[in-house]
Amino acid sequence: MKTILPLLLALFVITSCTQNSKENPVSEVAKSNKTDEGGAEFAIVIHGGAGTILKKNMTDEKEDAYRKILEKAIRTGYEILKNGGTSLDAVTKTINIMEDSPLFNAGKGAVFTNAGTNELDASIMDGKTLNAGASAGTTTVRNPIDLARAVMDKSPHVMLSGKGAEVFAEAQGLEIVDPEYFYTVNRFNALQRAKEREQIELDHDDKSAFYDAEIKDFKFGTVGCAALDKDGNLAAGTSTGGMTNKRWGRIGDAPIIGAGTYANNATCAVSSTGWGEYFIRAMVAHDISALMAYKGLTLKEAAREVIHDKVGGLGGDGGIVAVDKNGNMVFEFNTEGMYRASMNDQGELTIEIYEK
Protein backbone atom coordinates (compact mmCIF):
# COMPACT_ATOMS: atom_id res chain seq x y z
CA MET A 1 0.00 0.00 0.00
CA LYS A 2 2.84 2.34 0.85
CA THR A 3 4.22 1.75 -2.64
CA ILE A 4 0.89 2.19 -4.42
CA LEU A 5 -0.10 5.53 -2.82
CA PRO A 6 2.89 7.53 -4.16
CA LEU A 7 2.27 6.06 -7.61
CA LEU A 8 -1.39 7.07 -7.54
CA LEU A 9 -0.48 10.58 -6.38
CA ALA A 10 2.05 10.98 -9.20
CA LEU A 11 -0.49 9.75 -11.75
CA PHE A 12 -3.06 12.27 -10.47
CA VAL A 13 -0.62 15.18 -10.79
CA ILE A 14 0.42 14.21 -14.33
CA THR A 15 -3.21 13.82 -15.43
CA SER A 16 -4.19 17.19 -13.95
CA CYS A 17 -1.33 19.02 -15.65
CA THR A 18 -2.09 17.41 -19.00
CA GLN A 19 -5.77 18.33 -18.75
CA ASN A 20 -4.97 21.96 -17.87
CA SER A 21 -2.64 22.32 -20.82
CA LYS A 22 -5.37 21.13 -23.19
CA GLU A 23 -7.92 23.52 -21.75
CA ASN A 24 -5.69 26.61 -21.91
CA PRO A 25 -3.49 26.42 -25.03
CA VAL A 26 -4.05 30.08 -25.88
CA SER A 27 -2.82 31.35 -22.54
CA GLU A 28 0.35 29.29 -22.89
CA VAL A 29 0.94 30.66 -26.38
CA ALA A 30 0.24 34.16 -25.08
CA LYS A 31 2.81 33.73 -22.35
CA SER A 32 5.43 32.43 -24.75
CA ASN A 33 4.59 35.22 -27.17
CA LYS A 34 5.44 37.96 -24.72
CA THR A 35 8.17 39.64 -26.69
CA ASP A 36 10.92 41.98 -25.56
CA GLU A 37 10.22 43.99 -22.46
CA GLY A 38 9.85 47.65 -23.22
CA GLY A 39 7.10 47.44 -25.81
CA ALA A 40 5.10 50.58 -26.57
CA GLU A 41 1.57 51.73 -25.71
CA PHE A 42 1.20 52.61 -29.38
CA ALA A 43 3.51 52.29 -32.36
CA ILE A 44 3.65 52.71 -36.12
CA VAL A 45 5.97 51.36 -38.79
CA ILE A 46 6.02 51.93 -42.57
CA HIS A 47 7.82 50.86 -45.73
CA GLY A 48 8.21 52.30 -49.20
CA GLY A 49 9.43 49.15 -50.90
CA ALA A 50 12.36 46.74 -50.71
CA GLY A 51 14.89 45.97 -53.41
CA THR A 52 18.31 46.74 -54.79
CA ILE A 53 18.61 50.13 -53.16
CA LEU A 54 22.27 51.18 -53.22
CA LYS A 55 23.71 54.38 -51.80
CA LYS A 56 26.09 54.67 -54.74
CA ASN A 57 23.07 55.04 -57.02
CA MET A 58 21.37 57.64 -54.81
CA THR A 59 22.05 61.37 -55.02
CA ASP A 60 21.94 63.39 -51.81
CA GLU A 61 18.93 65.28 -53.16
CA LYS A 62 16.99 62.13 -53.94
CA GLU A 63 17.80 60.50 -50.62
CA ASP A 64 16.69 63.65 -48.83
CA ALA A 65 13.41 63.60 -50.76
CA TYR A 66 12.71 60.02 -49.70
CA ARG A 67 13.56 60.70 -46.09
CA LYS A 68 11.29 63.75 -46.01
CA ILE A 69 8.27 61.95 -47.41
CA LEU A 70 8.82 58.95 -45.12
CA GLU A 71 8.94 61.30 -42.14
CA LYS A 72 5.85 63.20 -43.27
CA ALA A 73 3.93 59.97 -43.72
CA ILE A 74 4.84 58.36 -40.42
CA ARG A 75 4.32 61.55 -38.42
CA THR A 76 0.82 61.74 -39.88
CA GLY A 77 -0.02 58.35 -38.45
CA TYR A 78 1.85 59.01 -35.22
CA GLU A 79 -0.21 62.11 -34.47
CA ILE A 80 -3.42 60.16 -35.00
CA LEU A 81 -2.29 57.47 -32.57
CA LYS A 82 -0.93 59.97 -30.04
CA ASN A 83 -4.30 61.72 -29.94
CA GLY A 84 -6.17 58.48 -29.30
CA GLY A 85 -7.13 57.71 -32.90
CA THR A 86 -7.53 54.20 -34.26
CA SER A 87 -4.84 52.11 -35.86
CA LEU A 88 -7.07 51.81 -38.94
CA ASP A 89 -7.20 55.58 -39.38
CA ALA A 90 -3.46 55.86 -38.79
CA VAL A 91 -2.72 53.22 -41.43
CA THR A 92 -5.10 54.76 -43.96
CA LYS A 93 -3.90 58.35 -43.61
CA THR A 94 -0.24 57.36 -43.53
CA ILE A 95 -0.55 55.39 -46.75
CA ASN A 96 -2.46 58.30 -48.33
CA ILE A 97 0.65 60.45 -47.96
CA MET A 98 2.81 57.91 -49.77
CA GLU A 99 0.18 57.29 -52.43
CA ASP A 100 0.17 61.01 -53.23
CA SER A 101 3.94 61.06 -53.78
CA PRO A 102 5.39 60.21 -57.22
CA LEU A 103 8.43 58.69 -55.48
CA PHE A 104 6.71 55.41 -54.68
CA ASN A 105 5.07 52.75 -56.81
CA ALA A 106 1.61 53.39 -55.38
CA GLY A 107 -1.06 55.93 -56.26
CA LYS A 108 0.49 58.86 -58.13
CA GLY A 109 3.77 57.04 -58.76
CA ALA A 110 2.28 53.77 -59.98
CA VAL A 111 4.16 51.91 -62.70
CA PHE A 112 2.77 51.22 -66.17
CA THR A 113 1.35 47.99 -67.56
CA ASN A 114 2.33 46.60 -70.94
CA ALA A 115 -0.75 48.33 -72.37
CA GLY A 116 0.42 51.71 -71.09
CA THR A 117 -2.13 51.97 -68.29
CA ASN A 118 -1.79 52.10 -64.51
CA GLU A 119 -3.57 49.36 -62.56
CA LEU A 120 -3.52 49.82 -58.80
CA ASP A 121 -4.05 47.39 -55.91
CA ALA A 122 -4.46 47.84 -52.15
CA SER A 123 -5.63 46.09 -48.99
CA ILE A 124 -6.27 46.81 -45.32
CA MET A 125 -7.09 44.64 -42.29
CA ASP A 126 -8.48 45.25 -38.81
CA GLY A 127 -6.76 43.14 -36.16
CA LYS A 128 -9.63 43.52 -33.68
CA THR A 129 -12.40 42.08 -35.85
CA LEU A 130 -10.36 40.37 -38.59
CA ASN A 131 -12.42 42.36 -41.07
CA ALA A 132 -10.54 43.19 -44.26
CA GLY A 133 -10.95 45.04 -47.53
CA ALA A 134 -9.07 45.06 -50.82
CA SER A 135 -9.21 46.36 -54.36
CA ALA A 136 -7.37 45.28 -57.48
CA GLY A 137 -6.82 46.57 -61.00
CA THR A 138 -8.34 50.03 -60.61
CA THR A 139 -7.36 52.86 -62.96
CA THR A 140 -9.31 55.90 -61.76
CA VAL A 141 -9.32 55.83 -57.94
CA ARG A 142 -6.80 58.36 -56.64
CA ASN A 143 -6.14 56.60 -53.34
CA PRO A 144 -6.63 52.83 -53.54
CA ILE A 145 -6.17 52.38 -49.79
CA ASP A 146 -9.33 54.47 -49.29
CA LEU A 147 -11.16 52.10 -51.62
CA ALA A 148 -9.88 49.08 -49.71
CA ARG A 149 -11.08 50.70 -46.48
CA ALA A 150 -14.51 51.38 -48.01
CA VAL A 151 -14.79 47.77 -49.18
CA MET A 152 -14.14 46.68 -45.60
CA ASP A 153 -16.39 49.24 -43.90
CA LYS A 154 -19.23 49.68 -46.38
CA SER A 155 -19.67 46.43 -48.27
CA PRO A 156 -20.27 42.77 -47.39
CA HIS A 157 -17.24 41.78 -49.46
CA VAL A 158 -13.49 41.55 -48.94
CA MET A 159 -12.16 42.27 -52.45
CA LEU A 160 -13.48 44.18 -55.46
CA SER A 161 -11.70 44.56 -58.78
CA GLY A 162 -11.63 46.52 -62.01
CA LYS A 163 -14.61 48.52 -63.24
CA GLY A 164 -16.90 47.23 -60.54
CA ALA A 165 -14.54 48.46 -57.86
CA GLU A 166 -14.42 51.87 -59.56
CA VAL A 167 -18.22 52.10 -59.67
CA PHE A 168 -18.32 51.24 -55.97
CA ALA A 169 -15.63 53.84 -55.21
CA GLU A 170 -17.58 56.57 -56.97
CA ALA A 171 -20.76 55.58 -55.14
CA GLN A 172 -18.89 55.94 -51.85
CA GLY A 173 -17.78 59.45 -52.73
CA LEU A 174 -14.09 58.62 -53.13
CA GLU A 175 -11.97 60.87 -55.32
CA ILE A 176 -12.03 59.75 -58.95
CA VAL A 177 -9.36 61.04 -61.33
CA ASP A 178 -8.58 60.88 -65.01
CA PRO A 179 -6.14 58.02 -65.67
CA GLU A 180 -3.67 60.66 -66.87
CA TYR A 181 -3.25 61.67 -63.22
CA PHE A 182 -1.01 58.64 -62.73
CA TYR A 183 1.33 59.51 -65.59
CA THR A 184 4.91 60.25 -64.55
CA VAL A 185 7.85 60.56 -66.93
CA ASN A 186 10.14 58.24 -64.97
CA ARG A 187 7.60 55.41 -64.84
CA PHE A 188 6.72 55.79 -68.52
CA ASN A 189 10.38 55.71 -69.50
CA ALA A 190 10.85 52.58 -67.39
CA LEU A 191 8.04 50.94 -69.35
CA GLN A 192 9.69 51.81 -72.66
CA ARG A 193 12.97 50.28 -71.54
CA ALA A 194 11.19 47.17 -70.34
CA LYS A 195 9.25 46.78 -73.58
CA GLU A 196 12.37 47.25 -75.65
CA ARG A 197 13.97 44.32 -73.87
CA GLU A 198 10.71 42.32 -73.67
CA GLN A 199 11.10 41.73 -69.96
CA ILE A 200 9.09 42.22 -66.82
CA GLU A 201 10.76 44.44 -64.26
CA LEU A 202 9.86 43.55 -60.70
CA ASP A 203 7.97 46.20 -58.78
CA HIS A 204 10.50 46.02 -55.93
CA ASP A 205 13.75 44.91 -57.48
CA ASP A 206 15.89 44.28 -60.55
CA LYS A 207 16.97 40.64 -60.44
CA SER A 208 20.43 40.08 -61.90
CA ALA A 209 18.93 38.56 -65.03
CA PHE A 210 17.07 41.83 -65.65
CA TYR A 211 19.96 44.15 -64.80
CA ASP A 212 20.11 47.40 -66.75
CA ALA A 213 23.27 49.39 -66.07
CA GLU A 214 21.59 52.58 -67.32
CA ILE A 215 18.97 52.49 -64.60
CA LYS A 216 20.37 54.28 -61.57
CA ASP A 217 17.36 54.05 -59.27
CA PHE A 218 16.68 50.43 -58.40
CA LYS A 219 13.79 50.98 -56.02
CA PHE A 220 10.26 50.03 -56.95
CA GLY A 221 8.32 51.23 -53.95
CA THR A 222 5.16 49.49 -52.95
CA VAL A 223 4.05 51.18 -49.72
CA GLY A 224 2.68 49.80 -46.48
CA CYS A 225 1.99 50.49 -42.83
CA ALA A 226 1.33 48.57 -39.61
CA ALA A 227 0.14 50.19 -36.39
CA LEU A 228 -0.91 49.57 -32.79
CA ASP A 229 -3.24 52.07 -31.10
CA LYS A 230 -3.80 52.95 -27.44
CA ASP A 231 -6.74 50.55 -27.22
CA GLY A 232 -4.49 47.65 -28.17
CA ASN A 233 -5.91 47.27 -31.66
CA LEU A 234 -3.64 46.38 -34.56
CA ALA A 235 -4.10 47.22 -38.25
CA ALA A 236 -2.09 46.91 -41.45
CA GLY A 237 -2.40 48.13 -45.03
CA THR A 238 -0.53 47.91 -48.33
CA SER A 239 -0.82 49.77 -51.65
CA THR A 240 0.95 49.31 -54.99
CA GLY A 241 1.01 49.87 -58.72
CA GLY A 242 2.35 46.37 -59.21
CA MET A 243 4.91 45.31 -61.78
CA THR A 244 6.29 47.37 -64.65
CA ASN A 245 5.17 45.92 -68.00
CA LYS A 246 2.73 43.51 -66.32
CA ARG A 247 0.17 41.84 -68.55
CA TRP A 248 -3.07 39.88 -68.58
CA GLY A 249 -4.49 41.51 -65.46
CA ARG A 250 -1.63 40.34 -63.25
CA ILE A 251 -2.24 40.85 -59.53
CA GLY A 252 0.51 40.53 -56.94
CA ASP A 253 0.51 40.07 -53.19
CA ALA A 254 -0.40 43.61 -52.09
CA PRO A 255 -4.22 43.18 -52.24
CA ILE A 256 -4.15 39.58 -51.02
CA ILE A 257 -5.11 39.27 -47.36
CA GLY A 258 -2.62 36.92 -45.73
CA ALA A 259 0.07 37.52 -48.33
CA GLY A 260 0.57 41.28 -48.58
CA THR A 261 -1.40 42.33 -45.51
CA TYR A 262 -2.49 40.72 -42.25
CA ALA A 263 -3.47 41.88 -38.76
CA ASN A 264 -4.65 40.02 -35.67
CA ASN A 265 -4.82 41.51 -32.19
CA ALA A 266 -3.65 38.19 -30.75
CA THR A 267 -0.29 38.44 -32.52
CA CYS A 268 0.77 41.18 -34.91
CA ALA A 269 0.11 43.40 -37.93
CA VAL A 270 2.20 42.94 -41.09
CA SER A 271 2.65 44.71 -44.43
CA SER A 272 4.75 43.07 -47.14
CA THR A 273 6.84 44.32 -50.03
CA GLY A 274 8.56 42.01 -52.47
CA TRP A 275 8.30 39.69 -55.42
CA GLY A 276 4.55 39.18 -55.26
CA GLU A 277 4.31 35.70 -56.72
CA TYR A 278 6.59 34.32 -54.00
CA PHE A 279 4.84 36.24 -51.23
CA ILE A 280 1.52 34.78 -52.32
CA ARG A 281 2.91 31.24 -52.42
CA ALA A 282 4.41 31.65 -48.94
CA MET A 283 1.39 33.55 -47.53
CA VAL A 284 3.98 35.74 -45.86
CA ALA A 285 1.95 38.10 -43.69
CA HIS A 286 -0.29 35.40 -42.23
CA ASP A 287 2.55 32.93 -41.79
CA ILE A 288 4.38 35.35 -39.51
CA SER A 289 1.27 35.63 -37.34
CA ALA A 290 0.77 31.85 -37.40
CA LEU A 291 4.32 31.15 -36.26
CA MET A 292 3.73 33.44 -33.30
CA ALA A 293 0.38 31.87 -32.43
CA TYR A 294 1.16 28.20 -32.98
CA LYS A 295 4.92 27.95 -32.51
CA GLY A 296 5.33 30.62 -29.84
CA LEU A 297 7.94 32.60 -31.74
CA THR A 298 8.55 36.29 -31.14
CA LEU A 299 7.74 38.70 -33.95
CA LYS A 300 11.41 39.01 -34.85
CA GLU A 301 11.93 35.26 -34.90
CA ALA A 302 8.83 34.65 -37.01
CA ALA A 303 9.69 37.39 -39.50
CA ARG A 304 13.23 36.09 -39.94
CA GLU A 305 12.05 32.54 -40.53
CA VAL A 306 9.50 33.56 -43.13
CA ILE A 307 11.57 36.12 -45.06
CA HIS A 308 14.95 34.41 -45.00
CA ASP A 309 14.11 30.71 -44.83
CA LYS A 310 10.76 30.38 -46.57
CA VAL A 311 10.67 33.20 -49.13
CA GLY A 312 14.42 33.10 -49.63
CA GLY A 313 14.31 29.33 -49.90
CA LEU A 314 11.82 29.57 -52.74
CA GLY A 315 14.06 32.05 -54.56
CA GLY A 316 12.01 35.15 -53.79
CA ASP A 317 13.03 38.39 -52.16
CA GLY A 318 11.53 41.37 -50.41
CA GLY A 319 10.65 42.31 -46.87
CA ILE A 320 8.05 43.20 -44.26
CA VAL A 321 7.33 45.76 -41.61
CA ALA A 322 5.37 44.65 -38.57
CA VAL A 323 4.31 45.51 -35.04
CA ASP A 324 3.16 43.06 -32.39
CA LYS A 325 0.48 43.37 -29.72
CA ASN A 326 3.07 44.69 -27.24
CA GLY A 327 4.26 47.49 -29.51
CA ASN A 328 7.50 45.83 -30.62
CA MET A 329 8.34 46.76 -34.21
CA VAL A 330 10.31 44.83 -36.81
CA PHE A 331 11.83 45.53 -40.21
CA GLU A 332 12.91 42.32 -41.98
CA PHE A 333 14.16 41.99 -45.56
CA ASN A 334 16.55 39.90 -47.65
CA THR A 335 17.38 42.60 -50.19
CA GLU A 336 20.02 45.32 -50.25
CA GLY A 337 17.67 47.93 -48.90
CA MET A 338 14.15 48.91 -47.92
CA TYR A 339 12.66 52.37 -47.46
CA ARG A 340 11.39 52.23 -43.89
CA ALA A 341 10.51 54.25 -40.80
CA SER A 342 9.11 53.73 -37.32
CA MET A 343 7.86 55.75 -34.34
CA ASN A 344 6.98 54.61 -30.82
CA ASP A 345 4.92 56.18 -28.06
CA GLN A 346 7.93 58.22 -26.92
CA GLY A 347 8.07 59.93 -30.31
CA GLU A 348 11.38 58.26 -31.18
CA LEU A 349 11.75 58.34 -34.96
CA THR A 350 13.82 55.95 -37.07
CA ILE A 351 14.24 56.38 -40.83
CA GLU A 352 16.45 53.99 -42.79
CA ILE A 353 17.00 53.07 -46.42
CA TYR A 354 20.01 50.81 -46.84
CA GLU A 355 20.92 47.44 -45.42
CA LYS A 356 22.93 47.89 -42.24
Annotated catalytic residue within 35, 52, 94, 222? 222
Check: CB of residue 92 under 8 Å from CB of residue 235: no
The alpha carbon torsion through 308, 311, 312, 317 (nearest 10 deg) reads -100
Q: Count Cβ atoms below 10 Å from residue 347 Cβ, excluding itself.
A: 9
Looking at this protein, which amino acid is placed at residue 154? K
Looking at this protein, which amino acid is placed at residue 169? A
For residues 29 and 24, give the distance between their C-alpha atoms in angstroms, rounded to a whole number. Answer: 9
Check: CB of residue 236 under 8 Å from CB of residue 269: yes
Beta-carbon contacts of residue 197 (< 8 Å; ≥ 6 apart): 212
Phi, psi (degrees; rounded to nearest 5) at 63: -60, -40
Phi, psi (degrees; rounded to nearest 5) at 224: -160, 165
Beta-carbon contacts of residue 123 (< 8 Å; ≥ 6 apart): 132, 133, 134, 135, 148, 159, 237, 238, 254, 255, 256, 257, 260, 261
Helix-helix angle 4-23:25-32, to 10 degrees:
80
Q: Does 52 participate in catalysis according to the annotation?
A: no
Phi, psi (degrees; rounded to nearest 5) at 83: -90, 15
Active-site annotation, residues: 222
